[in-house]
Amino acid sequence: MALLKEELEVKGLNTVCQSAKRPNIGECFKKKTSTFLILGKNCMRKCAFCAVEKYTPESIDVEEPVKVAKVIKKLGLSYTVITSVTRDDLPDGGAQYFSETVNEIESVLPNIKVEVLVPDFCDRTQSINVVLSSKPDVFSHNLETVPSLYGKVRKGADYKRSLNVLKYGKDGGFKVKTGIMLGLGETEKQVFETIKDIKEINIDILTIGQYLAPTKRHYPVVKEYNDEEFQKIRDFAFSIGIKQVVSGRYIRSSYLAQEYF
Ligand code: SF4
């Protein structure tokens, strides 16, 4: 863990565990799994549940793809997740940097598995194509919550647009993954409806976790789900044919992604 932290600091790189105050930071670092946050720490959207900072977007470090690849090689990772804040300020939403980062990683570690966890790119097909051209092993985009809560907690995003992003990846022949959080005020019926929508696009991997407010200033936790409730929702997802479902209080889409691959 110390080595990874040192490497990140020296190269000015960010991981999601650090930036989003994820609950599993110790475990992921110990297993030498890490999710790299490219394109800066500042997001242009303002999701009410998210700990990522929301300020003016940072300037792009054009060397970042090479730096990320070097760190991953040095740490000997066999699986990595590349994600970013939402960069609506960039004409392609940062797609080119996703693609370059995947290409750089695969050029130094040909056997590594790379997952990209992308923003919605405002549904720009051209941007999604650029990312897919790098042939990631998993194409991931998080729905985060049920559609009725988007206006409240996920301003600037659009549920149908996010589903389209996932469908586009799936139709392109990629392994596709999404994640939702529970506890933001959704009803059970809404959760089941959302899972049905997810099944409609033939998702490969679904993660379901408990929303944990990063600070008191963030959106409050409306409900704490217990193990039986997670089990019931997982069973429902399996029963309608989703093949891989991981659910539980501390589950996050990038948490131990290698094990769910
Ligand atoms: S778009 Fe993503 S990174 Fe930005 S605030 Fe929302 S959840 Fe956080």
pLDDT of residue 78: 86
Chain position carrying tokens 């139709």: 171
**Each residue's pLDDT tens digit, 1-42:** 556 666 666 667 777 665 555 555 556 556 666 789 999 989
Residue 83 Cβ < 6 Å to ligand 1: no
Strand partners, 140: 117, 177
Dihedral angle computed from the Cα positions of residues 213, 115, 60 and 99, in that order, rounded to the nearest 10 degrees: -150
Q: Are 206 and 199 in contact (CB under 8 A)?
A: no
Q: What are phi and psi of 247, to 5 degrees?
A: -140, 150
Ranges in the chain, pLDDT < 50: none
Residue 232 Cβ < 6 Å to ligand 1: no
14-15/138-140 β-pairing: unpaired
Q: Does domain 2-260 have CATH number 2.60.40.420?
A: no
Chain position carrying tokens 């998080």: 142
- CA 167 to CA 186: how far, in whole Å? 23
Q: How far is the CA of 52 from the centre of ligand 1 (A)?
A: 7
**Token pair of 91 as six digits:** 């004409």
Q: How far is the CA of 86 from the centre of ligand 1 (A)?
A: 6
**Each residue's pLDDT tens digit, 185-218:** 999 999 999 999 999 999 999 999 999 999 999 9
244-248/113-117 β-pairing: unpaired
Count of beta carbons in the 10 Å neighbourhood of residue 52: 21
Residue 45 Cβ < 6 Å to ligand 1: yes
Q: How far is the CA of 144 from the centre of ligand 1 (A)?
A: 10
Q: Where are the beta strands (DSSP E) in the chain?
A: 14-15, 34-38, 79-84, 113-117, 138-140, 176-182, 205-210, 244-248
3-state secondary structure of 168: helix
Residue 242 Cβ < 6 Å to ligand 1: no
